[in-house]
């Protein structure tokens, strides 16, 4: 029986750390599925990690002055990813690399969850098509 990925977003799937984020933005490829900008980079698999993809979410302080708004947007994007990540994990199964990517919110206003989820799904579909 095949292991189906659970709808969780554990710490192992979070992309963090200065070197990882700097290399993502320096060498990564970007595209836009408005209002989400996606930057992604395929990196060699880490020995201790069996996670196929690691994600980082961000919302700009320049556009959203209140931390409440930034935190809400990040929460919405994380939740939309958590619910819709199964096709991405299926596409990455058996690959020799791990995917590092970020979702950056680029719109000027806070949208509702239904809209953000639909756009995150579009972004994930585009990402799957662009996989190396």
Q: What are the C-alpha distances in Å from 6 to residues 24, 52, 75, 86, 118?
A: 26, 13, 18, 8, 20
CATH 3.30.230.10 corresponds to the domain 14-129? yes
CB-based burial label for 107 (10 Å; 0-12, 13-18, 19+): middle
| 1 pLDDT higher than 50 | no
At 48 the pLDDT is: 76
Q: What are the C-alpha distances in Å from 79 to residues 18, 29, 56, 82, 97?
A: 24, 23, 12, 5, 25
Domain ranges (residues) in the chain: 14-129
pLDDT tier at 6, thresholds 50, 70, 90:
confident
At 98 the pLDDT is: 94
d(CA 30, CA 22): 14
Dihedral, CA atoms, 76, 79, 83, 87, nearest 10 degrees? 80
Query: What value does the mean pLDDT take over residues 48-58?
Result: 91
Query: What value does the mean pLDDT take over residues 2-17?
Result: 83
pLDDT tier at 28, thresholds 50, 70, 90:
very high
Give the rounded percent of residues in the chain with a pLDDT score beyond 90: 89
| 69 pLDDT higher than 70 | yes
pLDDT tier at 43, thresholds 50, 70, 90:
very high
CA angle, 123 as apex, 122 and 126 as ends, to 5°? Answer: 85
CA angle, 93 as apex, 13 and 117 as ends, to 5°? Answer: 55
**Residue corresponding to tokens 């791990």:** 98
Which is more confident, 30 or 48? 30
**What is the chain's mean pLDDT, rounded?**
94
């Amino acid at each position: 029986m095949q292991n189906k990925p659970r709808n969780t977003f554990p710490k192992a799937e979070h992309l963090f750390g200065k070197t990882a984020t700097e290399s993502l933005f320096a060498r990564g490829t970007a595209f836009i599925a408005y209002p989400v900008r996606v930057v992604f980079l395929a990196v060699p698999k880490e020995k201790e990690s069996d996670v196929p993809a690691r994600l980082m979410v961000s919302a700009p302080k320049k556009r959203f002055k209140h931390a409440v708004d930034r935190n809400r947007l990040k929460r919405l994007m994380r939740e939309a990813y958590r619910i819709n990540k199964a096709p991405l994990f299926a596409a990455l199964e058996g690959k020799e690399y791990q995917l590092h990517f970020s979702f950056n919110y680029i719109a000027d206003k806070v949208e509702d969850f239904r809209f953000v989820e639909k756009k995150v799904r579009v972004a994930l579909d585009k990402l799957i098509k662009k996989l190396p």
